Amino acid sequence: MTGTFPNVSISTERLVLRPFEESDIEAYAEMMNDELVTAWTSVPRPYTEADARHWITELAPAERTEGRGIVFAVDEFLTQRLVGIVHLQNTDWRVRSAEIAYVIAPWARGEGYASEAALATAQWLFQNQKFERLELRTTADNTASQQVAQKIGCISEGVLRNAWIARSRSGDGTWADVRTDVIVWSLLPEDLADTSGFTSHSDWN
């Protein structure tokens, strides 16, 4: 059983979650070159505008059309500046579950944007798409991402030992792979800590 998420935008008090556009390429490439993004994700280093274009024009749209998930660009409502990305992936349509991942631009951190965007996505997934489980995985040392999980009401389910390869930067500026544990979190409809984040959604044309 396979489905497809609708091509929608989601609005919150401060944010708009929408499909990526080619005009996002420069800002997205800049965001993905941040050192924390390099450390905790598997994106290429350096992350070029060609990488960003491939993601925005091919890979991200395919996530939705092929039924694997959906990718949202996250904009600050007032400035329309790219705040980050929310990615629903590894979707299981029979179980009605998906995994959420997110990245926030360096300039926008500390404002609660990650939790606001993740909560709005969870509410849309549960209320509009009738899903029953959202999963989140954080590396053992990524405390900022763990705080987001806790803030939106996720429950820690356990640790996957040695399950991820993070990257660490040495004194000479080179990056080295480092194996690390992964904490698995889950959110169910009844776990939602707040119902004020997701305000509306609309079809994206």
Quick: pLDDT tens for 163-190. 988 878 777 878 888 898 999 999 999 9
User: What pLDDT, on the 0 to 100 scale, is given for residue 193?
Assistant: 54
User: What pLDDT, on the 0 to 100 scale, is given for residue 1?
Assistant: 60
* Whether residue 104 has pLDDT greater than 90: yes
The helix (H) or strand (E) run that includes residue 122 is helix 113-127
pLDDT in tens, 9-21: 999 999 999 999 9
User: What pLDDT, on the 0 to 100 scale, is given for residue 122?
Assistant: 97
Q: One-letter amino acid identity for 76?
A: E
User: What pLDDT, on the 0 to 100 scale, is given for residue 205?
Assistant: 42
Cα gap 176→192, rounded to integer Å: 38
Residue 204 banded pLDDT, cuts 50, 70, 90: low
Of 56-60, 80-84, 104-108, 162-166, the one with minimum mean pLDDT is: 162-166
User: What pLDDT, on the 0 to 100 scale, is given for residue 108?
Assistant: 92
96 backbone φψ class: left, alpha, beta (φ>0; ψ -120 to 50): left
Backbone angles phi, psi at 9, to 5 degrees: -120, 150
* Whether residue 194 has pLDDT greater than 80: no
Residue 147 banded pLDDT, cuts 50, 70, 90: very high
